[in-house]
Amino acid sequence: MTIYVNNQKHEVADALRVDELAASLQLPPQGVAVAVDNRMVPRAEWERTELKADARVVIIKAACGG
């Protein structure tokens, strides 16, 4: 199925969860926020949140400095 991650098209397996997407993108274990279809998904819910076709995922990584 097709999803969009930070406005880039990705082909992924059906029934992919947020935690599986994070692992496949090699996201760090901390300092990352994920929103699906304009809704923030707490890290505790990543394993229970399935992505649907055409989902819009926004990944934000924390950065130090100013």
| pLDDT tens profile 5-63 | 999 999 998 989 999 999 999 999 899 999 999 999 999 999 999 999 999 999 999 88
In this structure, what CATH number is given to the domain that contains residue 29? 3.10.20.30
* Residue 48 belongs to a domain: yes
pLDDT band at residue 65 under the 50/70/90 scheme: confident
Residue 34 CA to residue 47 CA, distance in Å, equals: 13
- The answer to whether position 66 is within a domain reads no
pLDDT at 10: 95
- Can you give the residue range of the structural domain that contains 18? 2-61
Assigned domain for 37 exists: yes
